[in-house]
Amino acid sequence: MNKTQQLNQIKERRRIRTRAKLFGTMERPRLSVLRTNQFTSVQLIDDMTGKTLASASTRDMSAKGGSASGGKNKEGKITKAEALGEMIAKKAKEIKINAAVFDRGGYNYHGRVKAVAEGARKGGLQI
């Protein structure tokens, strides 16, 4: 097994270990974070029925922004992640959800993941 496969296996075990401790319901869904090199996505998931209640992504935000600089916005990824947290909190309020269980998905709680959580709190979602 090469080094890359080992690292991927370690990441997968960490993600499974984190996920095993969390469970979302209709009243308190799971706020799941997905982080890629370019974008950040979040979902509110009801694990009882296995349905996504709401979702948002920085990809949607950049498409709406329509900057003339070839898709490169001047604001950083962390700033966008915080705005993403506020956006998902607003969507949660629209469907009458006030609290959520934060699922960091095996990522460390810093940078964009932390910014999403802080933005959701700022938007009024109890985590």
Domain edges within the chain: 3-122
120 residue type, one letter = A
Residue 87 pLDDT grade (very low, low, confident, very high; cuts 50, 70, 90): very high
Mean pLDDT of 2-10: 92
> For position 65, what pLDDT does the model report?
58
| CATH 3.30.420.100 applies to domain 3-122 | yes
> For position 60, what pLDDT does the model report?
85
Residue 17 pLDDT grade (very low, low, confident, very high; cuts 50, 70, 90): confident
Residue 70 pLDDT grade (very low, low, confident, very high; cuts 50, 70, 90): very low
Mean pLDDT of 74-94: 91
> For position 15, what pLDDT does the model report?
83
Q: Which residues, 6+ apart, have CB-to-CB distance to 105 below 8 Å?
A: 15, 18, 19, 32, 33, 34, 35, 113
Neighbours of 114 (CB within 10 A): 18
Q: What's the chain's average pLDDT?
A: 86
Tokens of 15: 């993600």
With a cut of 70, say whether residue 50 has pLDDT above it. yes
Residue 101 pLDDT grade (very low, low, confident, very high; cuts 50, 70, 90): very high
